[in-house]
Amino acid sequence: CQQSSGINAEYGVASALFGAALGYFYSIKFSAAKSASSCCNTTIKKDCSKVVDCADMEDLAKGKTVYCRCWQSKKFPYCDGSHNAYNLKTGDNLGPLVITNNKE
């Protein structure tokens, strides 16, 4: 009786190790694929290591300037309303950055 429980324990340990190794390799494969496809920016200035756009307050038009935050705008860095379709498609709630210049 003792011998068979030792064999069952060995199979249990081997099964657990196999399952852990399989889970580990599965998570590595699919987490790497996910990180590449989870980029927000899929088209804008992809040749740059970081996208940075600057604006001087003095250069802003009187009234408001609307900047894109969803990376989908065809007029980037300005918003063209593309976030509306993006939000419907992804379930996200992105909106633009609106800067108001009331100074004359």
Residues in the chain, how many? 104
Question: CA 95, CA 83: separation in Å to the nearest integer?
Answer: 6
CB atoms within 10 A of CB 78: 13
Residue 62 annotated to the active site: no
Q: Tokens 């970081």 identify what position? A: 50
Q: Which of 29, 34, 45, 50 is catalytic?
A: 50
Q: Which residues are catalytic?
A: 50
